[in-house]
Amino acid sequence: MSKREIILHTATRLFSEKGYHNTAIAEIAKLTGVAEGTIFYHFKTKEELFAAILDNIKLTIVEKYGEFFKEKQFATGLEMLESCVYFYLFLVGTREEMFLILHRYDAYELAQENQVFRTHFTEIYNYILDVFEKAILKGRDDESMSVESTGKAAFIIFTMVDGVARLRTFNLYDAASLYEQLQKSCRRILQSRPPA
Amino acid sequence: MSKREIILHTATRLFSEKGYHNTAIAEIAKLTGVAEGTIFYHFKTKEELFAAILDNIKLTIVEKYGEFFKEKQFATGLEMLESCVYFYLFLVGTREEMFLILHRYDAYELAQENQVFRTHFTEIYNYILDVFEKAILKGRDDESMSVESTGKAAFIIFTMVDGVARLRTFNLYDAASLYEQLQKSCRRILQSRPPA
DNA sequence: TATTTTACTGAGCCCTCACTCAGTTTTTCC
DNA sequence: GGAAAAACTGAGTGAGGGCTCAGTAAAATA
């Protein structure tokens, strides 16, 4: 790993643990084992460092979902959706630091002032929403689901899933014990049923 | 309003808009129209000021739900749950600053280090979860709902509802357009149905 | 090997901010 | 009215943190 990459890695961990404003460049330098100046050599400002982290998160998510879709086949849209939800929770579990950064309000704050950050965020969330919506579109086609607006359904499902994910990243509850209930709830929201 | 109350009010707004670490005492003082020293006269430290805000939020939520329950009657548990959800969204809309503070990660961070903050948070969330669970218990009794674990169901419902509320406080999406879909989703998750 | 480019260093600058304190004004109570 | 208590003031302090810069080391190139 290049020094740039090590710095990026350490910064991701620290920003996720302590937040953007609460993490001093000096601390990143110390934990990485480089001088402060080195960080400013690779990233002109602290904000540029953060933007690089967001970029890295986006690349990772897109790449991982890419691999996932290459390997998997889905019989129905409902099965695809459940699989995507499961994979999202898996990603959150294996890349905790990245999702903690996304879940911090820190980030939204910065996004409100900084166009570059805002673009990164929008791209990340649009990508995930797109994944979910594709599954729902498929489900509507093969009649494994009955939904009115696929966009809104994707939003609601994602909100619920990401909410449980947030419980996990924030360590607020034994979130894993909710996973089964979560899947069941998704199914209930989307599943087509014989008319009453 | 006493000066203490005005300070509390201004601080709530600023913390909600800019976060805890990003808000300087000097700014609170300036906007309130008092000297910095006055703030430290009423609240020994910045943390104590934040604790007072959390306390105030807790009181408000408990009080408002109290009034709500006094005025309303519910035919079924499902109706009660839907009503509680609606009222939660109403509260989020009318007391935006308070919920922004709850939704900021800022707050969780502080709660991890400070026992007083942690207690406040736990009490606030337990209260709301309790409200939701009571409705679900009623629904199970009157057979308007079919749920296995009332606790987990309450958690999932709250996660979803608070997620949509967060979209609103963070101004990320026209959240109001999701309210209908949200209610429908809650109903689908909880509602009892004739066996297939 | 000599030269240029790239990578790295860390002391120091400057600004922000939580908090203090000695003093002043206002309120309370006899 | 006067003394004591409570409320308020704002300049000052010290610590922390983003960023600069003049210089050194390492790598690439000629």
CA dist., res. B186 & res. B189, Å (int) = 5
What pLDDT does B194 receive? 55
The CA distance from A104 to B106, in Å, is 8
Query: Rounded to the nearest 5°, which phi and psi values hold at A145?
Result: -130, 155
How big is the A-B interface in CB pairs under 8 Å? 86
What pLDDT, on a 0 to 100 scale, did the predictor assign at position B38? Answer: 97
Residues of A in contact with B19 (CB under 8 A): 21, 105-106, 109
Give the closest residue to D9 (Cα–C1′).
B35
- The answer to whether the Cβ–Cβ distance between B177 and A152 falls below 8 Å is yes
Is residue A194 predicted with pLDDT exceeding 90? Answer: no
| A88 CA, D5 C1': Å apart | 62
pLDDT digits (tens, 9 = 90+) for B82-109: 999 999 999 999 999 999 999 886 777 7
What is the C-alpha separation between B10 and A190, in angstroms, rounded?
44
pLDDT tens figures, A134-156: 999 999 999 999 999 999 999 99
Q: Is B111's Cβ below 8 Å from some Cβ in A? A: no
Could you tell me how many helices (H) and strands (E) chain A has, helices first? 10, 0
A105 has a pLDDT exceeding 70:
no
Q: Which residues of chain B have pLDDT under 70?
A: 105, 194-196
Q: Tell me which residues from 22 to 41 on chain B have a beta carbon below 7 angstroms from nucleic acid strand C.
A: 22-26, 36-37, 40
* Over residues A165-183, mean pLDDT: 87
Is the Cα dihedral A156, A159, A160, A162 positive or negative? positive
A37 CA – C11 C1', rounded, Å: 11
Q: Is the dihedral of CA B114, B115, B120, B123 positive or negative?
A: positive
Which of A68-77, A172-181, B7-16, B47-56 bottoms out in mean pLDDT, i.e. has the lowest? A172-181
Residues in chain B: 196
Which of the four pLDDT bands, split at 50, 70 and 90, describes residue A96? very high
CA–CA dist A175, A162 (Å, integer): 11
Q: Which of B121, B81, B91 is nearest to B105 (CA)?
A: B121
- pLDDT confidence of residue B174: 85
A189: which chain B residues are within 8 Å (Cβ-Cβ)?
A: 185, 188-189
- For chain A, give the percent of residues with pLDDT over 90: 78
Q: What is the pLDDT of residues A4-50, one digit of tens each?
A: 999 999 999 999 988 888 899 999 999 999 999 999 999 999 999 99
Q: Is nucleic acid strand C under 7 Å from A38's C-beta?
A: yes
- Of A66-70, A108-112, A161-165, give the lowest mean pLDDT range: A108-112
pLDDT of residue B105: 67
